[in-house]
Amino acid sequence: MSAVDEKAILGRFMLELGRLYQAYRMYPSGNPHVQTAADRCAECLREFQKPIRISRMGEEVVIENEVLSPVPKQLEKILEAFKAMQWDSVRFLPEIGVRGFLEVMLRLKEGEPGSFSTVGFVAGSINLDEEDEEEEKGLNAPTGYLTLMPRVQEMMSDIREGRKGAWVRAREITRLISGHVMAGQDIFSPIMELKDYDEYTFTHAMNVAALSIAVARRMDLPEGLVDAVAIGAICHDVGKEKIPLEVLHKPGRLSDEEREVINRHPVDGAAIIMNMKGEMSPIVPVIAFEHHMRVDGSGYPKLPVQSTPHPAAMLVAVSDTFDAIRTVRPYQPSAYTPAGAMSVLIKESRANRLHPVFVSVFARLTGVIVPGRHVKLSDGSRAVVLADGEYDALQPLIEIADGGEIMDLSMPRTPDIESVEDMLDE
């Protein structure tokens, strides 16, 4: 079926679905108006030959990867009803038939919120994929962060190949990741699940998105900006597809030419993103382009005029650095512990390469600098943390080792934390 035909059927389906809802509210279910409307809806599904999905993401309504803008008048009422039922996503399957539509209408009339499924129809939270249905049937479907991986892979190939609807998918995926970030108390719990999984490109993209979402939320950034940061984070390395695998996975030192090939990925990534169709925040390609640029002007790509990277790119740079050094790679045989990785971030922040505000928020989220933790200070002394820093996680109350002075590191003329020592069990 051509894209034009599909669009025509979807248009008809929306019209008929709106009519059915209106008819059902006015007449009893046996009334010919209701029956005819249900029959027409069922016919659209049979013709479409595959499921039709309608989802709500924030204020936007998406039908089959296409944002409905503006929302057709005739759909408004039924969409309000879906919202009242807490159905973020509904899926009509080809086998639904007249009976299925009438059952959906009845359910809407009863108005009891929560997930619902019947022959040819599933409604509930945004994550309505095959695994969910299995789960509802009581089969042992895998759950958790790792199960998002195939969808991330699919989305990345959509972006690389410039397929339509890729942004809608990206938004869905980042919202699912976001759900995991909020559900877990500890920001490490979702990313630990992927630690032993070897598809680095995808696990790294997901982890950087999860960490960046956590930082953005902690900073109370507006929801739209959190979304843009999340999508930028998940796509930040999309330009790496142009790097030959033997260069990308090469253990040991890279030649100057190889390094040059690798350093092109932010430029290539931004170009891939800019060539995509569909609406997307302008921050997304900027994040891809600038995630290796540093606050002090070092890093790459080099521009003729030096400028400070966009704050969203500086935020993602912190998550990117953290996840990269926490992972075992061919050129990095052992990964850093959380304290070791935090120490690297602190060093980069003190050298004005990573932005200190994002590093500080990160330090708070990782919970590495807490009472009992041993740290090394910039004056060379060692100390133990007594209490969390109130305004800055990197400026706690400390006691210099061996019964020395007690110091509030947020006060002027006190040293900085230079590194964090491992606990015995790390």
Report the DSSP pairing between strands 52-57 and 89-92: antiparallel
Binding range to Fe ion, per CB under 5 A, among 109-117, 186-194, 314-322, 354-362: 314-322
By the rule CB under 5 A, 320 interacts with Fe ion: yes
Stretch that binds Fe ion, among 5-13, 103-111, 316-324, 418-426 (CB under 5 A): 316-324
Residue 320, exposed/middle/buried by CB under 10 A (0-12, 13-18, 19+)? buried
User: CA nearest 160: which of 201, 198, 195?
Assistant: 201
Shortest distance in whole angstroms from residue 254 CB to Fe ion: 14
Asked if 365 and 341 count as a contact pair (C-beta separation under 8 A), the reply is: no
In the bound complex, what is the minimum distance in angstroms from residue 262's beta carbon to Fe ion? 9
Which of the stretches 66-74, 115-123, 152-160, 317-325 binds Fe ion when contact is defined by CB under 5 A? 317-325
Amino acid sitting at position 318 = V
Could you give phi then psi for residue 203, rounded to 5 degrees?
Answer: -65, -40
124 near 89, Cβ under 8 Å?
A: yes
| Residue 237 engages Fe ion in binding (rule: CB under 5 A) | yes
**Least spacing, CB of residue 351 vs Fe ion, in Å:** 19
* Cβ at position 323, least distance to Fe ion in Å: 7
CA angle 16, 164, 132 (to 5 degrees): 65
Interaction between residue 290 and Fe ion (CB under 5 A) = no
CB nearer Fe ion, residue 75 or residue 293: 293
- Binding segment toward Fe ion, per CB under 5 A, in 185-193, 222-230, 312-320, 399-407: 312-320
Concatenated DSSP letters of 279-305: ---THHHHHHHHTTB-TTS-BSS--SS
Select 290 or 320, whichever has its Cβ closest to Fe ion.
320
Q: Candidates 8-16, 236-244, 251-259, 348-356: pick the segment binding Fe ion (CB under 5 A).
A: 236-244
Q: How far is the CB of 98 from Fe ion (least distance, A)?
A: 51
Size of the site for Fe ion (CB under 5 A): 2
CA 160 to chain centre: 18
Alpha-carbon separation of residue 9 from 199, 322, 340 (angstroms) = 39, 47, 57
Between 60 and 258, CB nearer to Fe ion: 258
User: CB-wise, 58 or 330, nearer to Fe ion?
Assistant: 330
Binding site for Fe ion (CB under 5 A): 237, 320
